Each structure stands twice: as C-alpha cells, then as structure tokens.
C-alpha cells in the first residue's frame, strides 16, 4: 500500500507534503518520512516510526525549508515498521532519495547482485534496492538519472509508484509507476509559473489544482522548476500526457463535523445513494440507464455466466449482487475471492462476463484476477468508486459508484453503493431480457427510488447506540446470523466488528447454526440476527428461539411494528419495510453503527484500525 506525495514549485513544500500525507494515511500508517532539497541545495531526510503526526513532532526544531520535496506514509511489507525501514531511502552516495509504493518481487536477486558490487544496504526493504540500483546504473552507464531510472525499472519485477529527488539536480523530481497508482497535479500559478504535485491519489492535490494526469503503467515523468514536464515509456518513447479536470471538492474529503470519517460516511449514505442512483432510474419510462451496460448490451444478454471477483466487504456486496442478478436476470453468477481465483486456473469462457467490484479500484488481487480473465478472453466490467483507478482503467466497460470518497478504512457507503449498483445492473439486464414481469420491474424500480429515504429513517431511529454499545465491551466473540439476502449482511456485520473493535465475530447463514456453531452459545455470547418481517420470517424466528433457549443474548434487526421478535430479543433495531432484495441496504446500517460505537467504547481508532490500510495494493 503506502502513500506518496511530492511537490515542486515556488511554495514551501513541507506543509504541502505533510497535509498530503495526512490525507493518504488511509493507505498505511506504520511510519512516515519526508525528503526536502533546501535553498543551499542540500538534501535532508526526516523519518519517524508511526503516524504522520509523529513525523511532524520529530521535525519541530529541524530545517524543513525548501520548495521541492517528496514524502511517504508506509504500510510495512518488507522489514518491520521502524525508522530505518521508513522512506525516503538514500542511495549509496546519499545523492538520491526515493519513496516507493508497491512491492519489488525480485528484490533479493537484485540486492545480492548489488552487494557483490560493493553496495551496502541499510534497511530490510525492497525499496532500497530500487534507489541503489538506479544509482548503480547511473554510475556504471554514465547516463543521467532519467535514463538510469528507465534502465533500472526494466529489470524490476513487481509493482511500483516512485518519486526521486537528486541532490545533483535540485530542480527536478522524477516519478514512475507500474501497477501502483500515481497522479500528477498541474497548476498554473498567478505569476504564470507551473507547479507540480504528486500523489498516490488526487486527495493531496485537489486543494491546489483540479488539473490531473494519471501516469500510465511503465511511464516515467520528469518535472522541473521551469514548469517542464516530460513523460516517456521505459524505452524512452515520448508519451503525450492526458490532462483531465477532476470533479472532486476538498469538502468531500473533510470530516464535516463528525468525530470520525467512518461515522460521517455512515450518515452520508442516504445522500450518497441518491447520487449513485441519480440519472440511472428512469421513473417516467420505467427503465434503468446504466451507461456501461447500454454500450455493451449484447455481452450481457449473451453471457453464459457472470463471474464477480472481489475481496472483503466488496465480496459481501457481490454475494448480494449474485442473489439479485440470478433472481431478476436469470443468469448464473459466481462470486469469487479474487485472491483465490487468480491462482487456481479457473475455467473462463470467452462468453463469460467477469465483473470486478472494488471500492478503491486498486486492490492487487482483484486487478490480477481480471487480468487473468482478460487473458482468457472474457469481457471485463468494473464497478469501482475511485475514478480513474487501475481497475476502472483495466476493464472493457464499467460504472462508478459515485458515492464520494470513502476515507474511513472500514467500508460503509461503498458497500451500500455496490449493492445498489449491482441491483441496477441486474435490473438493466432483466429489462432487456424481459426476465421480470413489467409489474415486478416497476415495483422494484419504484422501491429503489425510495431507498435513500428509508436509509434516512433507519439512521434517525438508530443513531443513539453509544450507551447500548458500552454493554458489549466485555465480549470476546459475536455471532451474526441472517438468511437469504441477509446472510451476506451477517458476514459484513461480523467483518465490520472484527476490523474496528478487534472482537472476534463470525457471520453464518442462520440455519447452519445447528450444524455446529450453536455449541458456542451461552449467556456470554451476543448474537446479532437480521429478522425482517419478510420471506423467511417464521424460520428466522425459530432460529432465534433456538438461541434464546441456550441463553444467547439476542440483538435483532426487525421491521418497524414487529412484535414477535421484540418479545424474544434483548434489544431490537428497527428498519422500515422494503422488498427482500433491498433489506441489506437498511439492515447493514444498525450493524455499521453498532460496530462503530463498540469500537469507540473500547477506545479503538476506528478510522485507522491496526494492521489495515484502505487500499490493499499488495497481494
Ligand atoms: C472492510 C474493507 C475491506 C475492503 C477490501 C477490498 O471494511 O474495507 O474488506 O472491502 O479490502 O477493497 P476494495 O473494495 O477497495 O477492492
């Protein structure tokens, strides 16, 4: 993972770099570092273990002046999270400093070879290999840094987004990428000069400019103080930068008065879903307009099968999508963990449609899974939130969630956005295939239209969970149960609790309890059951009774007006009635809030839980 920031221009670089690192902390926060070239052309590197705030404290009395710099926030892969392994890394001579996001897979071989030539390594990282190699090439081939970087990167296997400072060329930054994202921001200042920003995504840049260039795989860029930008591929063939205007405001990135991004994002869901649906539901003509589908209708109509590849929360949303697409469009759907799919030589037919579902659009396993599917001739469709992300660009077609940036590490509004988008996709195919009656289609479309209001209602009726959550700080385990469409919601509820409170939790299909897990139930065990007054209501009531008679503590999610489950449960959260297929969109909200409040009661850092990062760009 890791986050990269860079700046070259007339402003003081340090505050820009630090602010940028804070915005990228979702990508990792094991250590942070910054490299600056001062006015006297000296190069300083400052690093600290831990978060960006630790770096800020550590440089309090140091020289942080300079108008060119690079910075890094780390999610450790090679070498423990300490100051030595923090980026930037120096080359042997100390002339070059480099930050890196990604993994160099052949780093051991390169390191051993360079050691034979007398290079001494200070850290355990794969990154240091890069900077040492670049300098080695520069010295032995007597070429400039740009050419040396091109040559060095050709020998590297793996993923990288890098930025390099050179003490001997104090007026330039070099950047390059392969399989890890890198964005360049371009700004014309009032005095007509051009300044450049670098970011792992646009969040460190958007405050200064909305003019963005997404560096492509195996492209290398050099930006200098005179405002010049050159981009080539690794064979030195000049590339024409595609500058775009980014539609994202800084406000969207701030907490907006909430104590945490996660809580803000939970409460944003009604609006986020309104935006996600906007323009896609044609209520007058009763149609679904999903651009990526309309353009490739035949692919979907003739699909032998749909395979959805995803990870984590996106996998849970995909499972709900499977249930809906199979029910509405009558196409078989398989949902695959991308990390398993990519390594097991799966059968993929040219008439399969493979859908990648990913909030970040950068998840390494999901990206690799679709690359595998592409090599076997499948049509690729991407459902991503981050605009211009790697998965969005690697697919043949696709659609964005449009739920706005998700900063909290625990995914919330992206989950509901994914469920909605997959539902829209199912409806769009069903409309074309005529696999749903007009009456059912209209009913579903009309219901989808009011889901944001029902989400709002759910939030208003369940917001005060703080004192209730206190009662569960003792718990070491939780069980989550659901049936049908709500089984994936049980999985998602359990994941949300695990990742931010560090309480062990398991999600099960409720009827599976009697095949083993019911042995876990005693008076200590909280069991969250999704029990809407719909489809399998009577059956889930029986499951609740089985738990109750073994003294489990039942927390139920019920439809407004329910009386039967209320009698049995220790606590009920209410949701408005909706169609079975849309219950997940409402039922997940009390679960998100419950996890949030339990985590807060336990003093956890909900926006940055331990060992996690928002974008999993390593496998
Ligand atoms: C959990 C969570 C993760 C992600 C997973 C996939 O709250 O956020 O499980 O869902 O890492 O990430 P994306 O959707 O970016 O591919």
In terms of average pLDDT, the best of 434-438, 511-515, 606-610 is 434-438
- Give distance in angstroms: CA of 65 to centre of ligand 1: 38
Pick the range with the lowest mean pLDDT from 136-140, 388-392, 411-415: 388-392
- Give distance in angstroms: CA of 158 to centre of ligand 1: 22
**Whether residue 154 lies in the annotated active site:** no
Ligand 1 pocket member 412 (CB < 6 A): no
> Tell me, what's the pLDDT at 176?
98
- Give distance in angstroms: CA of 384 to centre of ligand 1: 11
257-265 mean pLDDT: 90
Query: Binning pLDDT at 50, 70 and 90, where does residue 252 land?
Result: low
Ligand 1 pocket member 390 (CB < 6 A): no
- What is the rounded CA–CA span in Å between residue 233 and residue 219? 4
Ligand 1 pocket member 359 (CB < 6 A): yes
In total, the chain counts a number of residues equal to: 619
Tens of pLDDT, residue by residue over 160-217, are: 999 999 999 999 999 999 988 899 999 999 999 999 999 998 889 999 999 999 999 9
> Tell me, what's the pLDDT at 308?
98
Query: Binning pLDDT at 50, 70 and 90, where does residue 76 land?
Result: confident
- Give distance in angstroms: CA of 187 to centre of ligand 1: 32
Nearest-atom index, ligand 1, CA of 384: 14
pLDDT exceeds 80 at position 257: no
pLDDT > 90 in the chain, percent: 79
Ligand 1 pocket member 417 (CB < 6 A): no
Atom 8 (ligand 1): residue with closest C-alpha? 411
Tens of pLDDT, residue by residue over 292-311, are: 887 898 999 999 999 999 99
Nearest-atom index, ligand 1, CA of 409: 8
Atom 3 (ligand 1): residue with closest C-alpha? 312
Q: Which of 47, 178, 498, 614 is catalytic?
A: 614
pLDDT > 70 in the chain, percent: 99
Atom 10 (ligand 1): residue with closest C-alpha? 313
Ligand 1 pocket member 181 (CB < 6 A): no
In terms of C-beta density within 10 A (0-12 exposed, 13-18 middle, 19 or more buried), how is residue 97 classed?
buried
In terms of C-beta density within 10 A (0-12 exposed, 13-18 middle, 19 or more buried), how is residue 212 classed?
buried
3-class SS letters over 124-135: CCCHHHHHHHHH
**Cα angle 445, 449, 455; round to 5:** 130
260-288 mean pLDDT: 89
In the three-class reduction of DSSP (H, G, I as helix; E, B as strand; rest coil), residue 138 is classed as helix
pLDDT exceeds 90 at position 617: no
Ligand 1 pocket member 595 (CB < 6 A): no
Nearest-atom index, ligand 1, CA of 311: 6
232-247 mean pLDDT: 93
524-540 mean pLDDT: 93
Work out the mean pLDDT of the chain and round it to a whole number: 93
Q: Do residues 376 and 348 make contact, with C-beta atoms less than 8 angstroms apart?
A: yes
pLDDT exceeds 80 at position 427: yes
Nearest-atom index, ligand 1, CA of 496: 7
- Give distance in angstroms: CA of 613 to centre of ligand 1: 9
Q: Do residues 596 and 341 make contact, with C-beta atoms less than 8 angstroms apart?
A: no
Higher model confidence: residue 402 or residue 334? 334
pTM for this model (two decimals): 0.76
For a pocket test of ligand 1, which of 200, 260, 359, 409 has the largest count of ligand atoms closer than 8 A to its C-beta? Answer: 359
For a pocket test of ligand 1, which of 418, 419, 616 has the largest count of ligand atoms closer than 8 A to its C-beta? Answer: 616
CB atoms within 10 A of CB 263: 21
Pick the range with the lowest mean pLDDT from 73-82, 149-158, 213-222, 368-377: 73-82
- Give distance in angstroms: CA of 593 to centre of ligand 1: 18
> Tell me, what's the pLDDT at 78?
81
For a pocket test of ligand 1, which of 312, 356, 358 has the largest count of ligand atoms closer than 8 A to its C-beta? Answer: 312
Nearest-atom index, ligand 1, CA of 616: 11
- Which has the closest alpha carbon to 160: 105, 80, 241, 234? 105
pLDDT exceeds 90 at position 29: no
pLDDT exceeds 70 at position 240: yes
375-404 mean pLDDT: 90
- Give distance in angstroms: CA of 446 to centre of ligand 1: 30
250-279 mean pLDDT: 86
- What is the rounded CA–CA span in Å between residue 282 and residue 289? 7
In the three-class reduction of DSSP (H, G, I as helix; E, B as strand; rest coil), residue 562 is classed as coil
Ligand 1 pocket member 385 (CB < 6 A): no
> Tell me, what's the pLDDT at 253?
66
- What is the rounded CA–CA span in Å between residue 188 and residue 318? 43
- Give distance in angstroms: CA of 616 to centre of ligand 1: 8
For a pocket test of ligand 1, which of 28, 265, 341, 363 has the largest count of ligand atoms closer than 8 A to its C-beta? Answer: 363
The strand pair at 229-233 and 68-74 is best described as unpaired
Tens of pLDDT, residue by residue over 555-569, are: 999 999 999 999 999
Nearest-atom index, ligand 1, CA of 363: 16
Ligand 1 pocket member 172 (CB < 6 A): no
- Give distance in angstroms: CA of 619 to centre of ligand 1: 13
**Whether residue 571 lies in the annotated active site:** no
Ligand 1 pocket member 339 (CB < 6 A): no
Tokens matching residue 135: 């300098």
423-436 mean pLDDT: 95
Nearest-atom index, ligand 1, CA of 615: 15
- Give distance in angstroms: CA of 304 to centre of ligand 1: 28
pLDDT exceeds 70 at position 237: yes
Cα→Cα distances 85→49, 149, 271, 297, Å: 9, 22, 42, 50
- What is the rounded CA–CA span in Å between residue 596 and residue 260? 10
Higher model confidence: residue 561 or residue 282? 561
């Amino acid at each position: 993972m890791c986050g990269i920031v860079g700046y070259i221009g007339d402003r003081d670089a340090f505050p820009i770099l630090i602010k940028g690192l804070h915005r990228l902390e979702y990508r990792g926060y094991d250590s942070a570092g910054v490299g600056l070239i001062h006015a006297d052309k000296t190069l300083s590197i400052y690093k600290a273990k831990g978060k960006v705030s630790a770096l800020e404290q550590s440089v309090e009395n140091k020289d942080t002046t300079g108008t060119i710099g690079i910075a890094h926030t780390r999610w450790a892969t090679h070498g423990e999270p300490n100051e030595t392994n923090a980026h930037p890394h120096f080359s042997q001579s100390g002339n070059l400093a480099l930050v890196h996001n990604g993994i160099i897979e052949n780093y051991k071989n390169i390191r051993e070879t360079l050691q034979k030539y007398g290079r001494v390594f200070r850290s355990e990282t794969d990154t240091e290999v890069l900077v040492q190699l670049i300098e080695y090439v520069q010295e032995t081939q007597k070429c400039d840094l740009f050419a040396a970087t091109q040559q060095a990167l050709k020998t590297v296997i793996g993923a990288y987004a890098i930025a390099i400072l050179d003490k001997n060329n104090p007026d330039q930054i070099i950047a390059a990428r392969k399989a890890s994202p890198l964005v360049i921001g371009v700004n014309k200042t009032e005095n007509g000069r051009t300044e450049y920003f670098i970011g792992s995504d646009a969040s460190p840049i958007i405050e200064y400019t909305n003019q963005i260039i997404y560096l492509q795989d195996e492209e290398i860029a050099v930006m200098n103080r005179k405002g010049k930008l050159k981009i080539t591929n690794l064979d030195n063939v000049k590339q024409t930068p595609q500058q775009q205007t980014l539609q994202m405001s800084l406000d969207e990135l701030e907490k907006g008065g909430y104590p945490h991004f996660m809580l803000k994002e939970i409460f944003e869901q009604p609006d986020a879903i309104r935006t996600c649906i906007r323009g896609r539901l044609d209520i007058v003509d009763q149609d679904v307009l999903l651009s990526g589908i309309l353009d490739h209708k035949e692919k979907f109509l003739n699909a032998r099968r749909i395979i959805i590849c995803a990870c984590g929360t996106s996998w849970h949303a995909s499972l709900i999508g499977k249930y809906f697409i199979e029910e509405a469009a009558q196409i078989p759907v398989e949902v695959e963990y991308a990390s398993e799919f990519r390594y097991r030589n799966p059968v993929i037919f040219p008439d399969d449609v493979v859908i990648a579902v990913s909030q970040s659009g950068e998840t390494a396993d999901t990206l690799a899974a679709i690359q595998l599917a592409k090599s076997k001739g499948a049509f690729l469709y991407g459902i991503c939130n981050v605009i211009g992300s790697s998965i969005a660009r690697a697919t043949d077609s696709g659609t964005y969630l449009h739920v706005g940036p998700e900063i909290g590490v625990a995914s919330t509004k992206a989950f509901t956005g994914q469920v909605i988008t997959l539902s829209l996709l199912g409806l769009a195919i069903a409309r074309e295939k005529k696999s749903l009656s007009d009456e059912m289609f209209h009913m579903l479309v009309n219901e989808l239209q009011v889901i944001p209001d029902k989400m709002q209602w759910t939030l208003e009726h369940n917001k005060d969970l703080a004192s209730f959550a206190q009662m569960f700080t003792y718990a070491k385990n939780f069980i989550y149960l659901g049936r049908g469409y709500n089984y994936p919601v049980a999985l998602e509820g359990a994941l949300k609790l695990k990742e931010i409170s560090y309480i062990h939790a398991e999600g099960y299909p409720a009827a599976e309890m009697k095949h083993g897990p019911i042995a876990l139930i005693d008076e200590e065990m909280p069991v969250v059951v999704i029990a809407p007054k719909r489809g399998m209501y009577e059956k889930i009531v029986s499951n609740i009774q089985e738990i109750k008679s073994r003294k489990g503590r039942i927390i139920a999610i019920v439809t407004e007006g329910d009386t039967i489950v209320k009698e049995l449960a220790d606590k009920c959260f209410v949701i408005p009635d909706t169609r079975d297929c849309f219950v997940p969109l409402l039922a997940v909200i009390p679960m998100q809030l419950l996890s949030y409040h339990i985590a807060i009661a336990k003093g956890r850092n909900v926006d940055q839980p331990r060992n996690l990062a928002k974008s999993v760009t390593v496998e």
